[in-house]
Chains A and B, each alone.
Chain A
């Protein structure tokens, strides 16, 4: 990274080569992320096909309004992140910082809504474990807990990624304030952008799988 020698690290020939290497490395990391979330998606799909009625019953306990609101918030945050990268490509520092703050604000909104949702589940005793209570059809100690297990694990892992993303955004804002980016060098902004969009994609799949499938009326 940028030291006293400027943004070009000594083991690269040019900024172009450094930028392409960083992008390839970031995509390699994102492949490992696809596989990590993919394992959870697979588990969810296997148990969903095994206990379709119970998963639908569990899904009805999720708040579709809050879920849809958060989906919109995250898509808007992807737009503001893309705009931050766009501003970086044009070397407009004030705009980069503005769009990064907007993205951070939207990410915070998403997490705030998630806290509200989690606390509702907590009050309704829908956390899998000894105090789980279920008043609908199906055995409460049986696979109905699996749905909420997957719900908390998948949305929880997603939320952890959002928190890490928020930290990365703060780091970018600090670098941008120190005037570290230019139209020639904005690699960190682009890389965090890739990460942020990936986290958005995870939610694009989580929302229909957890909230929408088996909804009806």
Chain B
């Protein structure tokens, strides 16, 4: 049985990148950048997760079916969050009429 064996050097490189990204996200949180704080925190978290999935979880070296399965959960998660927020965050845009008397 043949497997792609990821070289140890690459694992250490990914580990280093994860550490650097952690240091950046912690440092940035101490500065007030307005809405950019949330943007930076989420972007770095997505980058870290992607590195873990591609290299530590070997998806990069896997067949296309694994790619589809690994992607599916996250695609549906984005749909779940985007559609729900498109409701909850826009409710204040249209003033509702006062409730009818009982």
Instruction: State the main secondary structure of chain B at its contact with A.
Output: helix
A15: chain B residues within 8 A (beta carbon): 1
B52: chain A residues within 8 A (beta carbon): 78, 197, 200-201, 204
Q: Which of B32, B73, B85 lies in contact with A216, CB distance below 8 A?
A: B32
Please measure, in the bound complex, the distance between the C-alpha atom of A81 and the C-alpha atom of B84, giving whole angstroms. Answer: 36
B19: chain A residues within 8 A (beta carbon): 72, 75
Q: Which of A41, A83, A193, A214 lies in contact with B81, CB distance below 8 A?
A: A41
Asked whether any CB of chain B lies closer than 8 Å to the CB of A42, the reply is yes
**A79 near B11: Cβ-Cβ < 8 Å:** yes
**B1 near A16: Cβ-Cβ < 8 Å:** yes
**A194 near B57: Cβ-Cβ < 8 Å:** yes
User: Which among B18, B31, B74 has the greatest number of chain A C-beta atoms within 10 A?
Assistant: B18
Inter-chain CB contacts under 8 Å: number: 133
Q: Which B14-54 residues have C-beta < 8 A from chain A?
A: 15, 18-19, 22, 25-26, 29-32, 37-38, 41-42, 44-45, 48-49, 52-53
Q: Mark A107-150, 1 if CB is under 8 A from B, else 0.
A: 00000000000000000000000000000000000000000000
Asked whether any CB of chain B lies closer than 8 Å to the CB of A90, the reply is yes
* A23-B62, A24-B69 given; A68·B5 CB < 8 A: no
B66: chain A residues within 8 A (beta carbon): 23-24, 27
Asked whether any CB of chain A lies closer than 8 Å to the CB of B77, the reply is yes
Asked whether any CB of chain A lies closer than 8 Å to the CB of B80, the reply is yes
Q: Which of B1, B41, B88 lies in contact with A184, CB distance below 8 A?
A: B1
Q: Which B43-92 residues have C-beta < 8 A from chain A?
A: 44-45, 48-49, 52-53, 55-58, 62-63, 65-66, 69-70, 72-74, 76-77, 80-81, 84-85, 88-89
